Structure 1
Amino acid sequence: MAPACLLGVCSLLCAWSVVVGHPCSLNRQGWADCNGKNLLHAPSSLPSNITGLDLSFNSLVVPQHGTFLRRFPSLHSLNLSNNALLALSPGIFSNLGALLLLDLSSCSITYLHKDTFKGLGNLHTLLLRNNSLQELEVPFILPLKALFHLDLQHNALVSVDTWSLQLMEAVPQVQLEGNPWVCNCSMYPLQQWLQRRQAVQVTCASPPRLQGQKVVALDSKDLGCLVRQRLPREDSTAWPDTVTSSNTTTPPVGKGGKSWPYLVGFIVAAIGISILIALAAKCKLFHKNFASYRHRLLPETSSTGGSPMEHSSNWDRDSSSRGVCDSHSIPGAADLQAEDDDGFIEDNYIQTSEQLPEEEERELRLSI
């Protein structure tokens, strides 16, 4: 009897310790339900291998730096809805790489850092409805490679830029209903995106004349954009097609992107022509100098005052060097010599070098 009583007391103590240790309920699938327990932190006594955790309707305090729920790396589902989280620091869920579902609904979130969901490469479903997001930080979707469902209903979004739409194109299911969309000409890219997705429940909140109307049912004039008007072919030369907008003006597209090859070709051609002109001028100057060198005058011996023998020897060398040329260049040399035999020779053809030897011979005779 005593062992049975002792066993019962031990069982009660163990059960009491479990209840006192954490107020959450556990099921056989590894799901911990801590809903509405007024918790500030996740109970430390919970098993670290749980796969699901519901911490909704509490007063959780999330760290400003570092990771959250680092003791539960095996979580597949995490519900943090209806907690006043306001802002989430970068990489706060980076230790939950196995997470498939994350519920952040009704958490009064006003801003999402681009690295808030860093490390959640396997996340399948992200619920962000009923928050206060006024704009989307474009790259926050980039780490979510496996994202299939994104819920952004009932936030404060008034428009979405084109880059965000391109990133959300990879997400099969996106819900944007209940946001105060401003339906003007900047809404046109979102309208085209919604038409491709067949999201007919997105409605306008302003301006008042379009309030409550479905975005996909509006035309360009309703949004304040002018439609491209294509005129008949015979009038197309006088009135070209234009696209104008009430907010923006599209500048004409230039054609200067392909002009650089022509510029390079022109520069190369100019340089080549300059080089050819320089070579031609240089060759012409060279020929001119060479011709002047061959036809220069013989030096005057009478003015220089040099020795007669010296000049006569120079004359003989020049004559011997030009002997061949003179024989070819002066036709009928024998005839000229025959004509000179008449004994009449003009004085101006007698060179000074020929007069000097005769004067020396005459002086020699007189001295003897």
Structure 2
Amino acid sequence: MWIKWIATLVAFGALVQSAVACPSQCSCSGTTVNCKSKSLASVPAGIPSTTHYLDFSYNQITKLEPGVFDSLTALTYLDLAPNQLTALPVGVFDKLTPLTFLNVGDNQLTALPDGVFDRLVNLQRLTLSTNQLKSIPRGAFDNLKSLTHIFLYNNPWDCACTDIMYLSTWIGQNSGKVTKDRVNNPDSAVC
């Protein structure tokens, strides 16, 4: 009897803690964590694992640590733009399979790691615009079966690079998904 009561109390305590935990620099409401415009240089610890909506827009985040989002397996919305990211760690989004919205635009990304989007099978909207991307790894978008909109404009695409052929072919096959300013525009991703 006592063991069952203690176990229930511990479980309730863990539930309450996860429901009220919030990084001190952010504001939290339900499953939304808003860290927008907080002058953050990195992703703070203590983001509740139940978070669905996570906004880090308008900060100065320069680096994402490997595994930084691994506990956020319920996340559907992640905004990381604009920041000062120059690279994404391998596997950084691997645990975020429910994700439907990802914005890493308006950063300083120069390359994408192989397989960075492979597990994002529910992703509908991807923003990569206004970075320093010259090419896209072969197969980068192949698993994005739910994708409806992708923003690729304002990148210095290198048309002499052999990797650009993947992007060119992909755009040709998915031109209705390539968007600029909420309008389909496959020509927005130009060299």
Residues 52-89 of structure 1: CA deviation (Å, up to 9, x unaligned): 000122233312xx433122111100001122211112
Matches within 5 A, 1:135-150: 135-150=135-150
Q: Which has the higher helix share?
A: 1
Tell me if 1:27 matches 2:37: no
* Alignment partner, residue 130 of structure 1: 130
Q: CA deviation at 1:42?
A: 3.3
Tell me if 1:164 matches 2:149: no
Q: CA deviation at 1:135?
A: 2.0
What is the distance in 2 between the residues matched to 1:81 and 1:174? 19
Q: TM-score, normalised by structure 2?
A: 0.73
Percent identity for Structure 1 against Structure 2: 25
| Contact 1:150/1:171 (8 A) holds in 2 | no
The range that moved more, 102-111 or 40-49, is 40-49
| Contact 1:92/1:117 (8 A) holds in 2 | no
* Alignment partner, residue 97 of structure 1: 97
* Alignment partner, residue 16 of structure 2: none
Q: CA deviation at 1:176?
A: 6.7
- Residues 171 and 144 (structure 1), Cα distance of their counterparts in 2 relative to 1, 3 Å cut: farther
What is the distance in 2 between the residues matched to 1:202 and 1:128? 12
Matches within 5 A, 1:1-368: 22-28=24-30, 30-60=31-61, 61-63=63-65, 66-159=66-159, 161-168=164-171, 169-170=173-174, 172-175=176-179, 199=185, 202=188
- Residues 148 and 132 (structure 1), Cα distance of their counterparts in 2 relative to 1, 3 Å cut: same
- Residues 126 and 199 (structure 1), Cα distance of their counterparts in 2 relative to 1, 3 Å cut: closer
| Contact 1:83/1:107 (8 A) holds in 2 | yes
Secondary structure of 1:82 counterpart = coil
* Alignment partner, residue 229 of structure 1: none
Q: CA deviation at 1:162?
A: 4.2
| Contact 2:134/2:156 (8 A) holds in 1 | yes
| Contact 1:105/1:128 (8 A) holds in 2 | yes
| Contact 2:81/2:104 (8 A) holds in 1 | yes
- Residues 147 and 118 (structure 1), Cα distance of their counterparts in 2 relative to 1, 3 Å cut: same
Equivalent residue letter for 1:129: S
What is the distance in 2 between the residues matched to 1:199 and 1:20? 39
What is the distance in 2 between the residues matched to 1:138 and 1:203? 16
Q: Which has the higher strand share?
A: 2
Q: CA deviation at 1:117?
A: 1.5
Residues 232-264 of structure 1: CA deviation (Å, up to 9, x unaligned): xxxxxxxxxxxxxxxxxxxxxxxxxxxxxxxxx
- Residues 40 and 139 (structure 1), Cα distance of their counterparts in 2 relative to 1, 3 Å cut: same
- Residues 171 and 145 (structure 1), Cα distance of their counterparts in 2 relative to 1, 3 Å cut: farther
- Residues 147 and 27 (structure 1), Cα distance of their counterparts in 2 relative to 1, 3 Å cut: same
How many residues were matched structurally? 165
Q: CA deviation at 1:19?
A: 10
What is the distance in 1 between the residues matched to 2:138 and 2:131? 17
- Residues 47 and 167 (structure 1), Cα distance of their counterparts in 2 relative to 1, 3 Å cut: same
| Contact 1:148/1:171 (8 A) holds in 2 | no
What is the distance in 2 between the residues matched to 1:20 and 1:72? 13
Q: CA deviation at 1:91?
A: 1.6
Q: CA deviation at 1:31?
A: 1.5
Higher alpha-carbon Rg? 1
Q: CA deviation at 1:167?
A: 2.6
Instruction: Identify which of structures 1 and 2 has the higher relative contact order when contacts are C-alpha pairs closer than 8 Å and 6+ apart.
Output: 2
| Contact 1:90/1:118 (8 A) holds in 2 | no
Equivalent residue letter for 1:154: N
